[in-house]
Each structure stands twice: as structure tokens, then as C-alpha cells.
Structure 1
Amino acid sequence: MSSPRLRQGRVSEIGYFYILTTVVDGRRRLFEDEGNAELVIDALRHVERSGRSRSLAWVVMPDHVHWLMELRRGTLATCMNVFKSYSSRKLGVGRVWQHGYYDHAVRNDESLERQARYIVENPLRAGLAKKRGEYPYAWCRWDR
């Protein structure tokens, strides 16, 4: 369960960039399953298709998701609610996500590309891949 303190000072500004992290309930490794990971990727794309976000990078780790996005419409809370409810319905395995999420507003002096590359390199640091681009559930706008 997340602390109410996580919500203190949370600001949602259209046109700003955020790194969002959400964790599977009980840290279950639901996304080791290829089909489950693909459904979560579809949920990220669903939020983008709805016009609420523009993704710059994401990674679906076995038990959590990191997402660098630009808020286009609504609030961070709405984006996460849409993402979590859409993915939970598609997965159909009961409660999927822990309550709440973590967010970091990317400051003007931070490099978006550097932040994106850090996100997609998570599988390397976790020992899930040996080189960048090898892990199938990571995407970065700058890796095209």
C-alpha cells in the first residue's frame, strides 16, 4: 500500500514530462509471461491513442513498469487509472497493481534522452539482458 505522502505535492501539468513507475501487487512476476507483457504494452499504447500521453520510453519489467511520457490531456492520476484499469481487464487475473504509483517530473535541465536510455537499460542492470535492444519489452523513441 502506498503512503498518502506520495501524493503530496503531485502536480499534473499538460506538456510536462514525467517518469512514472507502478508495481505489481505483491511484486508477483506477472510479466515474465510474454502474453502478459504484450498486454501491458498495449495498455501503454492505449493511453497514448486516447490522446492523454505521448510516450518517450517504457520498460515492462517482470514485476513493475517504468514509463517516460509527456502529459497531453487530463492528469497523471487519470493516465495511470486508464492504464491500470485497461491492463487489469485485459490480463483478467484479479488484482494486478499495487495502489498508487511513483512519479518524477523531469526538470528542464534534465536530458529526456538520457532519462529514456536509463529506463530502457533497466533489464541490463537486472541481468535480464546482456546488451541494449535485446530485452523485448523495452522501447525508446531515440532507438528507432
Structure 2
Amino acid sequence: MATSAWRISARSRLEAGAVATCVAPTTAAPSVGATQVATLSYPTSRIFHLSTASNPRHPAGMPRKHAPGHAALRRGRASLPNQVYLVTFVTHHRQPVFADAKLAMIASPVIHDARSWGSATLLAWVLMPDHWHGLIRLGEGCDLSRVVQRLKAHMARMLPPEAARPVWARGFHDHALRQEEDMQAIARYIVMNPVRAGIVASPRFYPYWDAVWL
């Protein structure tokens, strides 16, 4: 589908579920047929202070390019409770799976679903046509690899049979934020991805993102 399908009006924002809520207890993900996508207004005040510069400062750890199958979780690194990680993973062969608005609208509620996160907390995210960025704070007993694997599996399971398989490339890129790094600045960088990619002129016209600060 052409990128024009992504030029969504401000009133087509997906219904926001709980983002804060490691691997959750094993429960079946809701079926595709059960997915309910609602609309609500997307107030200008929520995004008014976002930078619209064409090339804002590139935050530490945000990879500009991601090779399929790249996994930067270094061997032996511990998944630390309360640590915030910037995570990126890509579709298989960088196929623009989520340029299809129907598939993006199915995947987005899964990202909001508490069953995708267990005791981890999702702070900010954006779903792009061929990749996903997110800021994740781990809870007690969480393992970052398992959290990411669970999210990828839930999103893939929700997509209809006609969607390309496999959906995701193996692995992911991660960066453990340092104390001096500005989480809100990185969150703004994340949600401005569609603007930098030329998909929309403003994040208010793009419904596939969220951030707890905005």
C-alpha cells in the first residue's frame, strides 16, 4: 500500500489502552476478529512542543540503520530491574509490512495490551512501516530478550493469514540508557520518526505511537 494510506487524520487516533503494566502469565492473545479499533481526537496540545526540525539531535544508542537479524544484547549483560532500554527491531528483510494501515491498526492495540508487557513498562513507542522503536523500563524478574520476543510474537500472531511471514527479523538492537541521558528527548525523537521519514508533516497525523510524557 502506498504511503498515502499513512496520512491519517487527527481524528483517527487508535484507542489508547494501558501502557504500564519480564513476561506476563501465559494467556492467549486476543484473536484478530476480537480486535476493536476505535477513534478519538488527537489534541494539538499533546504534540505542540515536539521539535519539527528535519534533523533533530540523534540520541545516543538510536541506530540509524538496522541490519536484519542484528542483536546487540551483549552476551553476559544482565537485564536490570528499573533500567530503561531503547529497543529497535525490524521486519523480515525490511519489508514495509505496516505500510498497510489495516495491519498497523491490528498491531497497535497489541502494543498497548498489558499482556504484552507483564511487569515491564512501555514508556514510548512508534510503529513504522518496517521497524519498531520503544523505550522499555524493566520490572522485577524481567528479561529484556523475553519481553521483546513476547511482543513480537503477540503482534505476529494477531496479523491475518495473508500477511507476509515471518513478520519480524530475528534479534533486536538495544541501548541501556545512562543516568545523564534525557528520556523525554529520546521519546520525542522516537515519535518524530514518521516526520523524518516523510510519511507525515506532523506526528498529529500519525496514529501509531504513544509516550507517557506527551
TM over 0.5: yes
Q: Does structure 1 retain, via aligned residues, the 8 Å contact 2:73–2:172?
A: no
Residue equivalent to 1:90: 158
| Distance of 1:44 and 1:114 partners within structure 2 | 21
Listed one character per residue, the Cα deviations across residues 56-113 of structure 1 (whole Å, up to 9, x for unaligned) are 1100000000011111242111111111111111114321100000001111101111
Matched with 1:18 is 85
1:59 equivalent in structure 2: 126
Change (3 A) 1:135 1:124: same
Structure 2 unaligned residues grouped into runs of 5+? 1-67
For 2:112, what is the secondary structure of its paired residue?
helix
Structure that is richer in strand per residue: 1
Distance 1:58 1:127, change over 3 A: same
Quote the Cα distance in structure 2 between the aligned partners of 1:56 and 1:50.
11
Gaps of 5+ in 1: none
Q: What is the aligned-residue identity percentage?
A: 33
So what's the TM-score if we normalise by structure 1? 0.88
Aligned residues, how many? Answer: 142
Q: What is the alpha-carbon root mean square deviation over aligned residues?
A: 1.9
More helix by share: 1
Deviations 1:32-65 (A, max 9, x none): 1222112322232235664232111100000000
- Mapped to 2, the partners of 1:44 and 1:72 lie a distance apart of 17
2:116–2:150 CA contact under 8 A, matched in 1: no
Larger radius of gyration: 2
C-alpha distance in structure 2 between counterparts of 1:64 and 1:57, whole Å: 14
2:206 to 115, 135, 140: 135
Q: What's the counterpart of residue 143 of structure 2?
A: 75
The two structures have a TM-score, normalised by structure 2, of: 0.61
C-alpha distance in 1 between matches for 2:70 and 2:128: 23
Which residue in the other structure is 2:73 paired with? 7
Cα distance in 1 for partners of 2:171, 2:117 equals 21
Q: State the distance in 1 between where 2:70 and 2:126 align.
A: 24
C-alpha displacement at 1:8, in angstroms?
2.1
